[in-house]
Structure formats: structure tokens, C-alpha cells
Amino acid sequence: MLTINSLSKCLGEFSLTDISLSVGDEEYFIVLGPTGAGKTILLETIAGIYSPDSGRIFLDGRDITDVPAWERNIGMVYQDYMLFPHLTVEANIGFGLKSRRADPAFIREKVQESADLLNIGHLLHRYPGTLSGGEQQRAAIARALVMEPEALLLDEPLSALDVKTRENLRAELARIHEATGTTIIHITHNFEEVFDLADRVAIMRGGEVVQVGTPEEIFRRPDSDFVAGFVGMENLFRGEGSPDGTVAVGDLRIRVGRGISGPVSVAIRPEEILLSKENLPEIGKNVFAGQVGSVRQNGGLVRVSVDTGIPFRVTLTRQGFEEVDIAPGDAIYLAFRPSAAHVYPSGSPEGI
């Protein structure tokens, strides 16, 4: 169990402000956020590269805030691998065990084991410069794992790889986590990694953690305009909430999952909205009449804008699109369940 209490660190242009997090044993925890959010410093502070200006870090109840990096046994893997170029893959993976003055035969055995786990057992005698990006990242992960770290920190481990390699290694990470049970904190700005890997997610912005939850919670129930915008909530409206469970947005009254008074934001994922040419009112559903604006094909998906007095964006599958058979200018009905309309109090007026 890794616990971070009110951690702050200022490093010139990057900083962390009052971060509190708790990551459970064997948990796969992802930190998601835009560039400059302070994600890397957070990992480096956990690893002990930087000491915090204030706040404490606990590992299994032990305060490790003042323990130097070399005594923490927390593994670190960077986006750009950072394999030591003057050492073979074998010496790279065995580097940490050598620091511990382990027996050479033991090191060889452990290195082989770790390399096999990452499927790079045949590359041990090569130098990093001769490996592909994916192979280098596997070696970097093996180098960290061979130490059997208390926690493994991955700083955008897949970002420098091409699409195919990234998908393979993503599946590998899931398998390795399953096999070793290592607690992992993984930084990314890629949503697919979140859905494939994360038990829980923290969203960071400007050095602060703004929301923590399961991927489902973060994506369906963002609790700020920033998170809603960041996770792609394209239908995000400001309105006035009433205790009866409706929100007035312009001329529309949107039925939402819960009664909440005062100024609120309503967020509806574009793929949760249905389109129909006929008005088929269902009890309890939100149904609004509107007019089709633009229709844009995007891979297997079709994105439609609908003007109902307020602008909605709707994502359909190609099949769904062909079934409703619409063109720009058509009159249309748009429907979604109240539970699909996530509502939270409007906080600061800052950007979406």
C-alpha cells in the first residue's frame, strides 16, 4: 500500500500541489493528464529522486519520505527507455542486482528469468542501440522487475512506440501485472491504456489531482468541467438545477439522475444519445425535437450534430447511422436516459 499525504513540490516550471493518493497492493493505478500536469515529477518524487517540499509518503505504513532512492526499491521506467548504452541488455537488467552485490550466478539466473518474462531472452548479448523501441522498453521493464520492486512506476511507457508495438506491449503489461502482482503506477495521456489496464485512475491538472476513481466513474461521472472535457464529454451544458431532478438548459428541461439545486453542469456522452425520425416518447426518457446539422464520417463511426435549441453532438455506429437514414437539414428526435445525463455543481467558470 502506497500512501501519499498532502505532497507538494515546486521545481521551477513544474510543480505538485497538495497531492493525496492511496494505491493498494497489486493495484494497477493510472495517472492521466495533459502535458505539464506534473505527472513525471509525481513519479520521481515517489521514487525518491526529489524530496518533497512538504507532505509525506508511506509504503506499507512505513514513512519513506526521507529514505534515499537507492534504499526504496521502487522501480522506474521512462518513456525513452534510458537503457545504459555502454552495457549489454544482460548487464542492464542485472545492473540493480549487481548494486546489491548479489552472487553472479544468482544474477544470471534472475536476469534470464526476467528477460524470459518479457520475451527478450534471446537479446541478452546485444547492446541497447541495436534494439527496436519495443525491445528496448521490454528490457527497461525487465531491468526494473528483476529487483522485485515494492512498486513499479511507468512514465508514459508506451508513448514512444508505434501503434502495433504499443498494442502488444499494452497486453504484455496486463499479463505481467497479473503474473507478478506488482503494484503499478502508470502515467499516460492515452485513454485506451486506461480502459485496458487501470483498476483506478487519477486525473491530474496543473500539479493537482482533480479526480480519482475507476475508469467507469471517471468517464461517466466526471465531477468537474475539466475532467468532463478531458475525457471527451462533448455534450456539456450549463444550466439551473431543481430538486425535482430536472435541469433547465436554455429552453430545454433535461431530466437527470438526481435532484440538485442551483447552477450545475450537465454532461452527456455522445454515444449515449439515440436518434429517430419518429417521436417515440418513452416514459422517463428525455426526448427533444431538433434539426440535423453536420454529418461527419470518422472511421467506423459517424458524428452528427443536432440543433435542439442547444447544440448536441451524437456519435452513431455506421450501422446505426444507416438505419436512421438522415441527412443535414432533416428534422429529427433525439433521446437519452436520465441516467446518461451526469450532473454536478458548476464550479469555477474555468475552461472545458
Partner 1 sequence: MSLGNVSRFQTVTVAVALLITAFIVLVLIGVVTHSPPAVLIESLLSEEIQFAVRLSIITSVISTLLCILVAMPVAYALARYSFPGKSLVNMMMDIPMALPPLVAGVGLLLFFGVSPIGKSLAAAGLTFVFTPLGIIVAQFFVNLPYMLRVARSTFQSVNPRYEHVAKTLGCTDAQAFRRVTLPMSANGLLAGAVITWSKGIGEFGAALMLAGATRMKTETLPLSLFLNMSTGKLEYAISAATILIVISIISLYVFERYSGATHVY
Cα dihedral sign, 260-264-270-274: positive
Closer by beta carbon to partner 1, 98 or else 122: 98
Does residue number 115 form part of the binding site for partner 1 (CB under 8 A)?
no
**Per rule CB under 8 A, is residue 76 in the interface with partner 1?**
yes
Among 84, 122, 178, 307, binds partner 1 (CB under 8 A): 84
Could you say whether residue 66 binds partner 1 (CB under 8 A)? no
The C-alpha angle with vertex 100 and arms to 183 and 142, in degrees rounded to 5, equals 45
Q: Which stretch binds partner 1 (CB under 8 A): 17-25, 91-99, 186-194, 218-226?
A: 91-99
Q: Does 129 bind partner 1 (CB under 8 A)?
A: no
| 8 A C-beta contact, residue 46 and residue 31 | no
Q: Which stretch binds partner 1 (CB under 8 A): 45-53, 111-119, 326-334, 344-352?
A: 45-53
**CA–CA distances in Å: residue 247 to residues 263, 321, 344:** 9, 29, 11
List the one residue out of 223, 16, 34, 177 whose CA is nearest residue 213: 223
The residue (of 69 and 160) whose beta carbon lies closer to partner 1 is 69
Q: Total number of residues binding partner 1 (CB under 8 A)?
A: 27
Among 14, 95, 127, 191, binds partner 1 (CB under 8 A): 95
CB of 237 vs partner 1, minimal distance in Å: 44
In the complex, what is the shortest distance from the CB of residue 110 to partner 1, in angstroms, rounded to a whole number? 13
In whole angstroms, how close is the CB of 36 to partner 1 at the nearest point?
18
- By CB under 8 A, residue 106 contacts partner 1: no
Candidate ranges 76-84, 169-177, 293-301, 323-331; the one touching partner 1 (CB under 8 A): 76-84
Site for partner 1, residues 136 to 195, rule: CB under 8 A: 143-144, 147, 149
**Please, which residue, 115 or 252, has the CB nearer to partner 1?**
115
Encoded amino acid at 16, one letter: L
Q: Specify burial of residue 77 (Cβ count, 10 A radius: 0-12, 13-18, 19+).
A: buried
Q: 89 or 302: whose CB is closer to partner 1? A: 89
- Which 218-257 residues touch partner 1, going by CB under 8 A? none
Residue range at the interface with partner 1 (CB under 8 A); choices 63-71, 172-180, 219-227, 311-319: 63-71
Establish if 134 lies at the interface with partner 1 (CB under 8 A): no
CB 65 within 8 A of CB 5: no
Candidate residues 38, 52, 96, 270; the one interacting with partner 1 per rule CB under 8 A: 96
Span from 27-35, 68-76, 104-112, 201-209 in contact with partner 1 (CB under 8 A): 68-76
Part in contact with partner 1 (CB under 8 A); list of ranges 77-85, 164-172, 282-290, 314-322: 77-85
Residues that bind partner 1 (CB under 8 A): 44, 47-49, 68-76, 78, 80, 82, 84-86, 95-96, 99-100, 143-144, 147, 149
